[in-house]
Amino acid sequence: MTLNALYAGTQSRWSDYEPELNRAFAEAGLDVQLSCDFAPEVVDYIIYSPSSSVKDFTPFTRLKAVLNLAAGVETITGNKTLKVPLARLVDEGLTQGMVEWVTGHTLRHHLGMDAQIINPAHDWVAVCPPLSRSRTVTVLGLGTLGLACAEALAALGFNVAGWSRSPKQHETIKCYSGDEGLKQALAHGQICVLLLPSTPDTANTLNAETLALMPKGSFVINPGRGPLIDDAALLSALDTGQIAHATLDVFRIEPLPAEDPYWAHPQVTVTPHIASETRAETSAGVVAENIRRCEAGEELLHLVDRTAGY
Ligand code: NAP
């Protein structure tokens, strides 16, 4: 029997996704009709993105699963009308993109590149950057993306500390968990990368108290989600020099409003939520595999724990 998959992703990406999803369905041996316009009662699967106009799942009476095209699920996980399994996206293109973005911005701050890139007076100040082995980077969140970034930074020679909800052990990364662990992880890291999901528990993880635990002149890099940081506390820490610079990719309101103080702050770099994007060519196979699994009665990959919120 033909399955109906509703594409409820970003409409401007439909022309990218349609051929890639159809190719992936064929490769998985699935008979799937893909459309952005089905009557709700005939839909078996929803391929979803946070920008989707679908907010009420009640009319989707034969829905089997929602397959999210993003790693973050904060806009859908609490939806009470959703009664079927929800899978988030884990795909190698998304991970690779995040590793490249985080490594690039970490190296910018580690090497002090701005001193040469922004040098209108043509000053000749021959200060050599330190080696990575003398720098600790703290990665908050050791999931798919955080762990991949932590391992890439460790491979470059950085001392890497990581923090997660559950305790972990790793050969090259010093792992912390829990409230006390957060304090210890922050106390050592001169560069802090946030790759936590946005949940009620992670809101304002960086706040006045926790920012004060970091060594003076530290750097903050946030490709996670805007609510992870108390914005007023970060701006205040930037003004006092407690934080030397913040590179921010995600915000409570996106696009970041023109009047937001982050735009004007000389010690803030704003990037427009581009740290890593879901790419049709790498994510389509993950979506197809989850439909195959669901049809075969197997557990879906990357299921969201809706109680934990990620
Ligand atoms: P993930 O695999 O679910 O990992 C989440 C990590 O955060 C896990 O290590 C988890 O701990 C930890 N965590 C969750 N709640 C915590 C808490 N209360 N205290 C301490 N640690 C906690 O997620 P992911 O795939 O790595 O993605 C992380 C986030 O990146 C996404 O949620 C999304 O917001 C963001 N993202 C941004 C972009 C972008 O372009 N800017 C792109 C993709 C994703 P456990 O290991 O113990 O579960």
Alpha carbon distance 197, 140 (integer Å) = 10
Give the number of the atom of ligand 1 that is nearest the alpha carbon of residue 197.
Answer: 32
Half-sphere exposure of 169 (CA within 13 A, CB side): 0
The per-residue pLDDT string of the chain (310 residues; one tens digit each, 9 = 90 and over) reads 999 999 999 999 999 999 999 999 999 999 999 999 999 999 999 999 988 999 999 999 999 999 999 999 999 999 999 999 999 999 999 999 999 999 999 999 999 999 999 999 999 999 999 999 999 999 999 999 999 999 999 999 999 999 999 999 999 999 999 999 999 999 989 999 999 999 999 999 999 999 999 999 999 999 999 999 999 999 999 999 999 999 999 999 999 999 999 999 999 999 999 999 999 999 999 999 999 999 999 999 999 999 999 9
Q: Chain-centre distance of CA 242, in angstroms?
A: 25
pLDDT of residue 116: 94
Q: Which helix (H) or strand (E) holds 5?
A: strand 3-8
pLDDT of residue 228: 98
Name the CATH code of domain 3-91+278-296 (choices 1.10.357.140, 3.40.50.720, 1.10.3470.10, 1.10.645.10).
Answer: 3.40.50.720
The Å distance, Cα 145 to ligand 1 centre, comes to 7
Give the number of the atom of ligand 1 that is nearest the alpha carbon of residue 274.
Answer: 40
The Å distance, Cα 117 to ligand 1 centre, comes to 32
- Which residue's CA lies nearest to atom 15 of ligand 1? 165
- Which residue's CA lies nearest to atom 17 of ligand 1? 165
Tokens for 252? Answer: 């409570």
E strands, 76-143, where?
Answer: 86-87, 136-140
pLDDT of residue 63: 98
Q: Which residue out of 51, 69, 179, 196 has the highest number of ligand 1 atoms within 8 Å of its CB and is therefore the one to mutate?
A: 196
What are the structural domain ranges in the chain? 3-91+278-296, 92-270
pLDDT of residue 78: 96
Same fold, 3-91+278-296 and 92-270: yes
Q: Which residue out of 160, 165, 269, 283 has the highest number of ligand 1 atoms within 8 Å of its CB and is therefore the one to mutate?
A: 165
The Å distance, Cα 146 to ligand 1 centre, comes to 7
pLDDT of residue 168: 98
- Which residue's CA lies nearest to atom 7 of ligand 1? 141
pLDDT of residue 170: 98
Strand order from edge to edge, sheet including 268-270:
173-177, 159-164, 136-140, 191-194, 218-222, 243-248, 268-270
Report, as residue numbers or ranges, the catalytic residues: 225, 273
pLDDT of residue 185: 98
Give the number of the atom of ligand 1 that is nearest the alpha carbon of residue 98.
Answer: 42
pLDDT of residue 184: 98
The pocket around ligand 1, CB under 6 angstroms, is made up of 71-72, 94, 98, 141-146, 163-166, 195-199, 201-202, 223-225, 249-250, 273, 275-276, 310
Alpha carbon distance 20, 288 (integer Å) = 10
The Å distance, Cα 12 to ligand 1 centre, comes to 26
CATH 3.40.50.720 correct for 92-270: yes
Alpha carbon distance 162, 74 (integer Å) = 22
The Å distance, Cα 115 to ligand 1 centre, comes to 32
The Å distance, Cα 128 to ligand 1 centre, comes to 35
pLDDT of residue 21: 98
Strand order from edge to edge, sheet including 45-48:
32-35, 3-8, 45-48, 65-68, 86-87
